[in-house]
Amino acid sequence: MDELFENTENKKDIAPELVPLAERIRAKHISDVVGQEHLTGEGRIIDGMIKNKTVYSIILWGPPGSGKTTLAKIIAAETGSAFYQISAVSSGVKDLREIIAKSAAAARKGHGSVLFIDEIHRYNKGQQDALLDSVEKGIIRLIGATTENPSFEVNSALLSRSKVLKLNLLSEEALDKILDKALNSDPILSAAGVVIADDARKILVESGGGDARKMLNTLELAVELSGQEKDVLIGQAELKKALSDSRKKYDKSGDYHYDIISAFIKSLRGSDPDAAVYYLARMLDAGEKPEFIARRLIVFASEDVGNASPNGLVIAQACFDAVHVIGMPEARIILAQATTYLASQPKSNASYMALNKAFEAVEKDGDTAEVPLHLRNAPTKMMKEFGFGKEYKYPHDFEGHFVAEDYLPESLKGRQFYFPTEEGLEKQIKDRLAIKWKGKKKY
């Protein structure tokens, strides 16, 4: 079994210098957690669980290095629960049954148990089903961690018995605080007198990409590669060595995994089919799940190709469906076709940017902006008397099936969120809208 312990650290017998920096400075109390305040802040769900000493079965869904394992350990510790941790990669049904038996014995004595399953999306249906009865009866409180959308990867029966909590990428401000903690509180870094130059510090934080573990791993490697034992100064040169260190290997759960998928997406966005298919081969050669890649292609097709080539989304969805049905090794051919197609298409993020602009408006004042009366539904006589739906102009009654009507709330009148580009088919969309709105909007 990967790990199995009850509110104790199973690494106490390991020399401190062999324990990774990210583990050495892991937060032990909820007050020490940096980031994820929407879950840990006053009155939020995790804060409530800890204060009430009540643990619900939850799925922590978020990017790597966002604090999933840390939160699971803190929840167990601060609610007085026994804590069992296993990895879905290296454990099986036998391991689950062993933990369930121990938890059942503890439950009979009135003690609660938390089972933390890292990468729960890698459990097959049989393994997930083995959890159902114990979760339902309250023998164990499940905390699952996943970087993948639980809707795709966790079976619906288990999902219905758990609450999904979404973790966000850590902000640069949060990463900066974590870096300060490492430099000021870690005994090994303190003993070595590690100092980071300001320009290198900014690069280090940015290179983390919202992933605290990745940032700390890079710092630790930079210290090692500096060759100094005392008064270690980390500048841009030392940081560059760590960021490009050849010892990094692609694996399906490590930091470099996310570097490769990032390079894959950026190559697609840069319209370089050769680079994109190369990174595709890297992922497939390492045993990456084809469905993982196919889902990324679907998102890319909408976010980066968009209305410049609307058929891109159709191709990406067809790719996912085909990959799911065919499986490996033939699925690689389908992925290659979709990858080279999407890389070669005109690009536009205009619809994605339009949504972001609309969200900004909603966050500012959109929740209080009244829907115009003429656009409101009027199913009852009283609503009609109040003017709901009055003077609504039905576009199909007008020439060209269009009428220059005001559809936004009064407080947002004249605002524009969607700015189509000149790329591909989106130029046709832009030209049509320009004709229809005749200067009322900036198409």
Do 181 and 162 lie in one domain? The reply is no
Residue 34's pLDDT band, with cuts at 50, 70 and 90, is very high
What is the pLDDT at residue 250? Answer: 53
Mean pLDDT, the chain, whole residue set: 86
The token duo for 385 is 């008397």
Residue 15's pLDDT band, with cuts at 50, 70 and 90, is low
Q: Which of 215, 243, 271 is the last residue of a domain?
A: 243
**Which domain CATH number covers 281?**
1.20.272.10
Do 185 and 118 lie in one domain? The reply is no
| Distance (Å, whole) CA 192 – CA 41 | 35
Residue 163's pLDDT band, with cuts at 50, 70 and 90, is very high
Do 340 and 262 lie in one domain? The reply is yes
Query: Does 69 map to a domain?
Result: yes
Do 161 and 176 lie in one domain? The reply is no
Report, as an integer, the average pLDDT of 168-187. Answer: 93
- The structure tokens 């994820």 sit at 36
Is pLDDT above 70 for 366?
Answer: no
- Please, what is the angle between helix 331-344 and helix 273-285, to 10°? 150
| Distance (Å, whole) CA 347 – CA 423 | 7
* Residue with the larger pLDDT of the pair 243 and 375: 243
Give percent of the chain with pLDDT exceeding 70: 89
Is pLDDT above 50 for 11?
Answer: no
| Distance (Å, whole) CA 191 – CA 238 | 19
* Residue with the larger pLDDT of the pair 421 and 227: 421
* Residue with the larger pLDDT of the pair 380 and 238: 238
- Say how many domains are in the chain: 4
Do 280 and 236 lie in one domain? The reply is no
Model confidence over 80-107: pLDDT tens digits? 999 999 888 777 778 888 899 999 999 9
Helix or strand holding residue 210 (H, E): none
Residue 241's pLDDT band, with cuts at 50, 70 and 90, is confident
What is the pLDDT at residue 244? Answer: 79
Residues 6+ apart with CB under 8 A from 35: 66, 67, 168, 170, 171, 174, 212
Residue 245's pLDDT band, with cuts at 50, 70 and 90, is low
Do 186 and 142 lie in one domain? The reply is no
- The structure tokens 């190709």 sit at 305
Do 187 and 59 lie in one domain? The reply is no
Residue 248's pLDDT band, with cuts at 50, 70 and 90, is low
What is the pLDDT at residue 7? Answer: 42
Is pLDDT above 60 for 360?
Answer: yes
The distance in angstroms from the start CA to the end CA of the chain is 61
Residue 2's pLDDT band, with cuts at 50, 70 and 90, is very low
Q: Which of 197, 223, 243 is the last residue of a domain?
A: 243
**Which domain CATH number covers 61?**
3.40.50.300
The token duo for 342 is 């999407």
**Which domain CATH number covers 224?**
1.10.8.60
**Which domain CATH number covers 424?**
1.10.3710
Strand order in the sheet with 141-146: 82-87, 113-118, 141-146, 58-61, 163-166
What is the pLDDT at residue 46? Answer: 95
Query: Does 353 map to a domain?
Result: no
Helix or strand holding residue 165 (H, E): strand 163-166
Do 319 and 422 lie in one domain? The reply is no
Is pLDDT above 90 for 71?
Answer: yes
Query: Does 292 map to a domain?
Result: yes
What is the pLDDT at residue 438? Answer: 83
Is pLDDT above 60 for 398?
Answer: yes
Residues 6+ apart with CB under 8 A from 165: 39, 45, 46, 58, 59, 60, 61
Report, as an integer, the average pLDDT of 255-267. Answer: 82
What secondary structure does DSSP assign to 26-89, as a single string? ---SGGG--S-HHHHSTTSHHHHHHHHT----EEEE--TTSSHHHHHHHHHHHTT-EEEEEETT
Residue 176 lies in domain: 172-243
Query: Does 4 map to a domain?
Result: no
The DSSP call for residue 211 is: -
250: Cα within 13 Å, side-chain hemisphere: 17
| Distance (Å, whole) CA 198 – CA 210 | 19
Per the CB < 8 A criterion, the answer to whether 62 and 46 are in contact is no
| Distance (Å, whole) CA 326 – CA 336 | 14
Is pLDDT above 70 for 381?
Answer: no
The DSSP call for residue 384 is: H
C-alpha R_g of the chain: 26
Do 335 and 379 lie in one domain? The reply is no
Furthest CA-CA distance within the chain? 82
Do 101 and 43 lie in one domain? The reply is yes
What secondary structure does DSSP assign to 86-116, as a single string? EETTT--HHHHHHHHHHHHHHHHTT--EEEE
Do 267 and 285 lie in one domain? The reply is yes
* Residue with the larger pLDDT of the pair 367 and 308: 308
Per the CB < 8 A criterion, the answer to whether 120 and 2 are in contact is no
Query: Does 442 map to a domain?
Result: no
Query: Does 426 map to a domain?
Result: yes
Is pLDDT above 80 for 181?
Answer: yes
SS3 label, residue 1: coil
Report, as an integer, the average pLDDT of 197-226. Answer: 91
Q: Which of 243, 274, 299 is the last residue of a domain?
A: 243
Query: Does 357 map to a domain?
Result: no
What is the pLDDT at residue 73? Answer: 95
Residue 70's pLDDT band, with cuts at 50, 70 and 90, is very high
Do 264 and 225 lie in one domain? The reply is no
Query: Does 221 map to a domain?
Result: yes
What is the pLDDT at residue 36? Answer: 93
